[in-house]
């Protein structure tokens, strides 16, 4: 059983002020695998005071000192790698192969990318009679989600530590175990007391306290657009910096000359990875009218072979949804699609046969969808793909850009040049061409209601830095 009933504050494990304890549920078994204590505003106050005290000294560390610390963290992380991967499978249902090869691996990847960016960073710039220097923004409140728990934590914690900031982290209360293990890793690596602090809890209790806290200089939030708006409003009274990585409804444009079977295999596989619980999932597939029928049939046949199963099995591609609440949300949106006239190409309501226990959903593809339907506009965050026909490329780009979101886009064409021409017209922060995967040194983030600011690599440093101009006679 996992124990997440204490917070990590000022280099020590400490009891919550509230003693408000909740079960941690394994979504594959619906059984408790441990407990997590929800913190309070008082716990946040103690963590922020610790981070504020530690900032004065830590912010003056040299680049070499911070590089050495990050290298120590990497070694400590590698020693607990299997513990991290196992925790992610247990707490949020990621299949063991995904946890080992992607979920836990991204923690190492972000550390290494951050160290490379720190080594390459120019600390000063000369402009006329001015020296422009970059300094750590201060105490950072980090609020992270459950779907890629270590990825989202490390892509904030690593640049914060690299730039000389101190941290108060609130991980998801649904997936607190991997975050607790990470706190143990940082402690083992010798992160100074107060530089990193962890307070467990929910959004209304701990997230709101972090967002509004007058002694926090910057908040970095990843989660839903609805919650991101609440964070920004709470932060506004103290005019703190807010970075947001929010929702998405990414379009995947299949061009006329694309290799269709390859494009379907890549698009469907990417969509259903992590059971569709990714903010940048290609959940709207746009296909030329002339290819629509064969594309739908091909996509449905591929999806039928991606049936969910026990996440502990190395053969499983899709695990359960993370919680009962998420399962009910996905089921409600599938029903909404049916009510609005969309037609099932595969999947649908209910659990897959033989998986009555656990929050499993059928891999579902809707056909005959238009971009005004709820399932084409709202982020479902589950294994649900909608397929929309288009007449010409101008209409496809119009459909793709007709969204409140602008996180990611996907284009599959006969050539990189053809796809690049389409990518340049998409109003999104990222575009994947012909199945290209994400690059950890490239900026991650979106336009419109998908957020502001960027994470990953050198671009991920900017939100954690203040810029100072020093004029010299």
Would you name the residues annotated as active-site residues? 245, 279
Q: Are 192 and 54 in contact (CB under 8 A)?
A: yes
For the chain, helix, strand, coil in percent to 5 are 40, 25, 35
Residue 176 backbone phi and psi in degrees, to 5:
-90, -10
Query: Could you give the CA distance from residue 129 to residue 381 in angstroms, rounded to a whole number?
Result: 52
Residue 177 backbone phi and psi in degrees, to 5:
-70, -50
Query: Could you give the CA distance from residue 282 to residue 77 in angstroms, rounded to a whole number?
Result: 31
Query: Could you give the CA distance from residue 275 to residue 28 in angstroms, rounded to a whole number?
Result: 12
Query: Could you give the CA distance from residue 377 to residue 391 in angstroms, rounded to a whole number?
Result: 20
DSSP secondary structure letter of residue 455: B
Q: How many CA atoms lie within 13 A of 189 on its CB side?
A: 26
Q: How many CA atoms lie within 13 A of 466 on its CB side?
A: 16
> 462 in helix, strand or coil?
helix
Q: Are 350 and 332 in contact (CB under 8 A)?
A: no
DSSP secondary structure letter of residue 69: H
- The alpha helices in 128-243, defined as continuous H runs, are 149-163, 177-189, 208-212, 225-236
Query: Could you give the CA distance from residue 392 to residue 287 in angstroms, rounded to a whole number?
Result: 10
Query: Could you give the CA distance from residue 450 to residue 429 in angstroms, rounded to a whole number?
Result: 9
Q: Are 258 and 412 in contact (CB under 8 A)?
A: yes
User: Cα 26 vs. chain centroid, distance in angstroms?
Assistant: 20
Query: Could you give the CA distance from residue 64 to residue 3 in angstroms, rounded to a whole number?
Result: 35
Q: Are 335 and 317 in contact (CB under 8 A)?
A: no
């Amino acid at each position: 059983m996992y124990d997440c009933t204490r917070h990590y504050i000022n280099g020590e494990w400490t009891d919550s002020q509230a003693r408000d304890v909740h079960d941690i549920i394994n979504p594959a078994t619906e059984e408790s695998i441990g407990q997590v204590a929800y913190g309070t505003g008082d716990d946040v106050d103690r963590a922020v005071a610790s981070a504020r005290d530690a900032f004065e000294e830590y912010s003056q560390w040299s680049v070499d000192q911070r590089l050495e610390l990050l290298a120590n963290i990497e070694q400590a992380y590698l020693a607990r790698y299997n513990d991290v991967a196992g925790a992610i499978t247990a707490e949020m249902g990621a299949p063991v192969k995904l946890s080992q090869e992607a979920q836990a691996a991204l923690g190492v990847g972000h550390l290494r990318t951050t160290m490379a960016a720190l080594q390459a960073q120019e600390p000063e710039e000369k402009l006329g009679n001015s020296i422009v220097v970059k300094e750590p923004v201060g105490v950072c409140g980090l609020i992270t989600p459950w779907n890629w728990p270590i990825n989202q934590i490390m892509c904030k914690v690593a640049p914060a530590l690299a730039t000389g900031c101190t941290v108060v982290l609130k991980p998801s209360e649904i997936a607190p175990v991997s975050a607790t293990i990470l706190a143990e890793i940082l402690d083992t690596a010798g992160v100074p007391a107060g530089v990193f602090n962890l307070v467990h809890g929910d959004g209304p209790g701990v997230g709101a306290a972090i967002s509004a806290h007058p002694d926090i200089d910057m908040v970095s939030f990843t989660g839903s657009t609805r919650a991101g708006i609440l964070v920004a409003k709470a932060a506004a009274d103290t005019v703190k910096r807010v970075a947001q990585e929010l929702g998405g409804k990414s379009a995947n444009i299949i061009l006329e000359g694309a290799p269709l079977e390859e494009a379907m295999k890549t698009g469907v596989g990417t969509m259903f990875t992590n059971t569709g619980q990714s903010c940048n999932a290609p959940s709207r597939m746009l296909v030329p009218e002339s290819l629509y029928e064969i594309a739908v049939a091909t996509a449905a046949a591929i999806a039928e072979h991606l049936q969910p199963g026990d996440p502990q099995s190395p053969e499983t591609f899709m695990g359960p949804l993370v919680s009962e609440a998420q399962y009910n949300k996905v089921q409600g949106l599938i029903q909404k699609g049916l009510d609005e006239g969309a037609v099932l190409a595969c999947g649908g309501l209910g659990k897959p046969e033989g998986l009555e226990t656990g929050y499993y959903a059928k891999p579902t593809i809707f056909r005959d969808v238009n971009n005004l339907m709820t399932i084409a506009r709202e982020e479902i965050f589950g294994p649900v793909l909608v397929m929309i026909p288009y007449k010409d490329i101008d209409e496809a780009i119009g459909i793709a850009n007709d969204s409140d979101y602008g996180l990611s886009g996907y284009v599959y064409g006969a050539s990189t040049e053809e796809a690049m021409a389409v990518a340049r017209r998409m109003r999104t922060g990222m575009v994947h061409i012909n199945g290209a995967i994400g690059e950890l040194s490239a900026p991650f983030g979106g336009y419109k209601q998908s957020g502001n600011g960027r994470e990953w690599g050198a671009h991920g440093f900017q939100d954690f830095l203040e810029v100072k101009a020093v004029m010299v006679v």
